[in-house]
């Protein structure tokens, strides 16, 4: 199987799994996404770990950090961020809300440190000066759009930063870290798209992985911006806003796993195609 054929089959297939978050009954959706999201992240973490073994140097380090990010993100969801978080009731009872929020924020900062280190490791092997004119334009637009969706919905809090709580300040810092992570990934993404047009190997599969990461980092902020600009489209607390967000989260996590699987198997599939081609040629020679 060619990796392009695999992606043509797998990406629509996981879209069906993601769209179920809208189609299922409202009382079923939280349980469904609580299972699918950590499962996809866990599979992605294992695949990233195995993928790291085919590289050396900075790329191996990059995939190890990606594996750590996916694994820690899975734990964050299971213990703190799901609709029925495992650790929250116990920690709230033992420590209170303030300490609980500090623990959750600390866990999230550690998790996002892994994706930041992944980005830095990838940039060490990428020559960003190779970006062509279109790539530079797209990079600039990505920077502007990312900073807009991260900052615009929180302009009031930023303007009155001296009066907001430390918890809110930490959330603002997290938003900016998400934005800067996407900005760091942007030249990597456009370089791979640029190389993909030149028929470079493994570009498409890595683009799928990076798009999955970018999607899960900015989707909440995009929805917040839409809600501020168009209040009636996705009202705060509505099931539609929740369900559509979960669709994109589920699809993003599954995209990462699918991209990693195809990235890892690409060489093997390529060798199999060559083996079959050579076997066919040998059979023709025998018949001659």
Question: What is the per-residue pLDDT across 168-210, written as a single tens digit (0 to 9) for each?
Answer: 787 788 888 888 888 878 777 777 776 655 555 556 777 888 8
Whether residue 279 is predicted with pLDDT greater than 60 in this model: the reply is: no
99: its two tokens:
């300490």
Rounded to 5°, the CA angle 265-190-141 comes to 145
Provide mean pLDDT across the span 124-151. Answer: 80
For 82, left (φ over 0), alpha (ψ -120 to 50), or beta?
beta
Evaluate whether 26 touches 239 at the Cβ level (below 8 Å).
yes
Evaluate whether 224 touches 149 at the Cβ level (below 8 Å).
yes
Provide mean pLDDT across the span 8-12. Answer: 91
89: its two tokens:
């009731």
Provide mean pLDDT across the span 35-44. Answer: 94
Whether residue 275 is predicted with pLDDT greater than 90 in this model: the reply is: no
The pair phi, psi for residue 199, each rounded to 5°, is 65, 35
Write the pLDDT tens digit of every residue in 138-178: 888 888 888 888 888 888 878 877 787 777 787 788 888 88
Q: What is the pLDDT of residue 278?
A: 39
Whether residue 267 is predicted with pLDDT greater than 60 in this model: the reply is: no
State the chain's mean pLDDT as an integer. 80
Handedness of CA 241, 242, 247, 253 (dihedral sign): positive
- pTM: predicted TM-score of the whole model, two decimal places: 0.82
Q: What is the pLDDT of residue 64?
A: 94
Which helix (DSSP H) or strand (DSSP E) does residue 189 occupy? helix 166-197
Evaluate whether 254 touches 40 at the Cβ level (below 8 Å).
yes
- Domain residue extents for the chain: 3-287
| CB neighbourhood size of 258 (10 A) | 26
Q: What is the pLDDT of residue 282?
A: 41
């Amino acid at each position: 199987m060619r990796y392009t054929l695999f992606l043509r089959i797998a990406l629509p297939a996981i879209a069906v799994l993601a769209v179920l978050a809208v189609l299922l009954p409202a009382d079923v959706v939280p349980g469904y996404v609580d299972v699918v999201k950590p499962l996809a992240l866990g599979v992605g973490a294992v695949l990233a770990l195995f993928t790291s073994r085919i590289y050396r140097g900075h790329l191996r380090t990059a995939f190890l950090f990606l594996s750590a990010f996916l694994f820690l993100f899975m734990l964050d969801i299971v213990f703190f961020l799901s609709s029925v978080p495992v650790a929250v009731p116990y920690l709230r009872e033992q420590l209170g809300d303030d300490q609980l929020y500090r623990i959750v924020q600390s866990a999230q900062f550690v998790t996002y440190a892994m994706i930041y280190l992944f980005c830095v490791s990838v940039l060490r092997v990428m020559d960003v000066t190779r970006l062509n004119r279109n790539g530079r334009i797209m990079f600039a637009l990505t920077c502007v759009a990312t900073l807009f969706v991260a900052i615009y919905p929180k302009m009031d809090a930023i303007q009155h930063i001296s009066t907001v709580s430390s918890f809110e300040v930490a959330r603002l810092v997290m938003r900016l870290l998400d934005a800067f992570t996407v900005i760091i990934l942007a030249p990597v993404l456009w370089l791979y798209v640029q190389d993909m047009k030149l028929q470079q190997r493994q570009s498409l599969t890595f683009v799928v992985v990076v798009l999955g990461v970018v999607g899960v980092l900015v989707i909440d902020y995009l929805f917040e911006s839409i809600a501020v600009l168009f209040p009636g489209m996705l009202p705060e607390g509505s099931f539609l806003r929740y369900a559509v967000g979960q669709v994109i989260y589920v699809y993003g996590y599954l995209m990462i796993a699918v991209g990693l699987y195809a990235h890892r198997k690409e060489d093997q599939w390529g060798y199999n195609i060559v083996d079959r081609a050579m076997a066919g040629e040998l059979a023709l020679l025998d018949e001659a």
